[in-house]
Amino acid sequence: MSEDGVKESTKISGMKSLSARLLVFTIITVMISEVLIYVPSISRFRKVWFEARIASAELAALATEVAMGENLPQELQNRLLDHAGAHGIALTKDGMRIMALSMDMPTRVDQTVLMKDDSIAHLLKGAFQTLVQNNNRILRVIGPSTVNPKTMVEVILDESPLRMAMYDYSERILALSIVVSLFTAAFVYLSLQWLMVRPMGLITRSMIRFREKPEDDEAIIQPSGASDEIGIAQQVLAAMQRDLQTALKEKTRLAALGSAVAKINHDLRNTLATAMLISDRLAKSEDPDVREIAPRLIEAIDKAVTLCSHTLHFVGETGLHLFLERLYLSDLFDETKSAVRPIHLAHDAENETIWENHIPQMFEIDGDMDQLVRAVGNLVNNAIQAGATKLSVSAEESGPFIKLYLTDNGPGMPDIAIENLFKPFQGSARKGGTGLGLIIAKDIMQSHGGALELDSTGKDGSTFLLTFPKPVEDEEANP
Ligand SMILES: Nc1ncnc2c1ncn2[C@@H]1O[C@H](COP(=O)(O)OP(=O)(O)O)[C@@H](O)[C@H]1O
Ligand SMILES: [Mg+2]
């Protein structure tokens, strides 16, 4: 992700903020639960409404029974029916009609509702049908009498008043739902805001600030002290930021030190080059005493130059610049030999080192010969300095790699060198050593896409393993 990308995504606003999403989510959840409550309750409402109608119808029928035998005047019948909200009422017992009242009887009945069918599915279906009707339907509702369950009450009535009542009821439920969901949402929102969003915001702000100014002490988060997950995250973040800050300060100091060393080295190398020239002339002096000290002077300066160039390489260069070409691996060993051998001979002409090259001729690599000679040269120097008299190399293919084994017959690596293997300045077990040779060699191998490892070491000698990637084939076809 680009710098801008990160900046963009840390600006949280509007609907994207956690609080807004939680708010919407809460409202939706409450609404859904209200619907789940509404559907069965509207069906129940319809059932209760019918039951009330049956009860009033029965009351009307009772009043009529009082006047048993006599023909009830139509006017009274009308009033009773009006009160029950019915066009007609009939009571039946064992299938026999025992009484009937009627007024403006409609010519048709659109639907018969049996109160004994009270399964949930049936009730839901009935309620739904009532709600979606446009016209008034005539319903015949049949249910048992409350007084005498053997008697069935039959009421003929209009559906519209029921629908109006159901609409009314729905409106009330809707209003209630809105109020409830707003209250719930507000409550949930505030508690989430307080418990999560606010402490998370603290973390986010601190992270943004720390990213912008990691060296600023103020950028480190002040944990709220809460013991929940977010509180712990804050504490961990604070610890992490402090560690990072310390590391950063250290790194800045080291970088400053590094560039200072690089500058000193650079000047020192020039001075040493001059000294080298002078001592070369001393070696040709007439005075035998002067001639005698000249080689030691040269050796001392040589050491100083090595130290300088090693240190410079280590602190000054970030990333090697390689000039890659196709090379024969066995040439690498021979080149190293010609670079290193004269120096060692100058020091110790008696003990000529034996060089054995067993690398198959055809092995090729892509590499920078000068750099690789430096790497292998460091390894070879170490071996000779440790007292090895024989060096041999062999190589083999291994998957996409070529492995080169460099074996010496020296005394093996000292413990301190093994413990601090590849650690700059720490691995030297040699008087006058820098402890940089191995790490520089490893650096060079790694920048070639390879690796350097200590394969084995013991009293019979040591073997280093240098891994090279095989050259890419098609490069050969189009150079
Ligand atoms: N082939 C080897 N045989 C024995 N000791 C070795 C060998 N290679 C490296 N060492 C040990 O590892 C140490 C670190 O080597 P190096 O990183 O080149 O630093 P330096 O040579 O400056 O001491 C040496 O001081 C030496 O003791
Ligand atoms: Mg060395």
Question: Ligand 1 pocket test: which of 430, 434, 440 has the largest number of ligand atoms within 8 Å of its C-beta?
Answer: 430
Distance of CA 453 from the midpoint of ligand 1 (Å): 13
- In 336-426, at which residue ranges do the beta strands (DSSP E only) sit? 354-357, 364-367, 390-398, 401-408
* 321-477 classified as CATH 3.30.565.10: yes
pLDDT value, residue 148: 81
Among all chains, which residue has been given the structure tokens 């949280």? 12
Which of 115, 129, 120 is closest to 54 using CA atoms? 115
Quick one: tokens of 359? Answer: 């690398």
Ligand closest to 420 (CA) is: 1
pLDDT tens, residue by residue, 189-200? 888 888 888 888
> Radius of gyration (Cα) for the chain, nearest Å?
50
| Whether 313 contacts 424, CB under 8 Å | no
Measured from the CB, is residue 430 less than 6 Å from ligand 1?
yes
Ordered by start, the domain boundaries in the chain are: 14-182, 229-310, 321-477
CA–centroid distance, 435 to ligand 1, in Å, is 7
- Mean pLDDT value across the chain: 85
Q: What is residue 479's predicted lDDT score, i.e. its pLDDT?
A: 44
Cβ contact 441:378 at 8 Å: yes
pLDDT at 3: 47
Supply the pTM of this predicted model: 0.49
Cβ of residue 461 lying under 6 Å from some atom of ligand 1: no
Among protein residues, the one whose CA lies closest to atom 8 of ligand 1: 382
Mean pLDDT calculated for residue range 55-70: 76
Q: How far is residue 234 from each of residues 215, 220, 222, measured CA to CA in Å? A: 19, 10, 8
DSSP string, 212-236: H-TT-GGGS-------SHHHHHHHH
The contacts of residue 265 (CB under 8 Å, 6+ apart) are: 308, 309, 311, 312, 316
pLDDT at 299: 76
pLDDT digits (tens, 9 = 90+) for 270-290: 777 787 777 777 878 888 888
d(CA 374, CA 355): 17
**Lowest model confidence (mean pLDDT) among 41-55, 143-157, 311-325:** 311-325
Neighbours of 387 (CB within 10 A): 11
- Residues 75-101: what's their mean pLDDT? 84
Q: How far away, in angstroms, is 303 Cα from ligand 1 center?
A: 15
The two tokens of residue 249 are: 């300060």
Predicted local distance difference test score (pLDDT) of residue 178: 84
The mean pLDDT of 255-278, rounded to a whole number, is: 75
**Tens-place pLDDT, residues 306-322:** 777 777 666 655 556 78
How confident is the model over 358-364, as a mean pLDDT? 94
Amino acid letter, residue 243: D
For the chain, how many residues are written?
479
438 CA from centroid of ligand 1 (Å): 7
User: Which residue's entry shows tokens 């973390």?
Assistant: 203
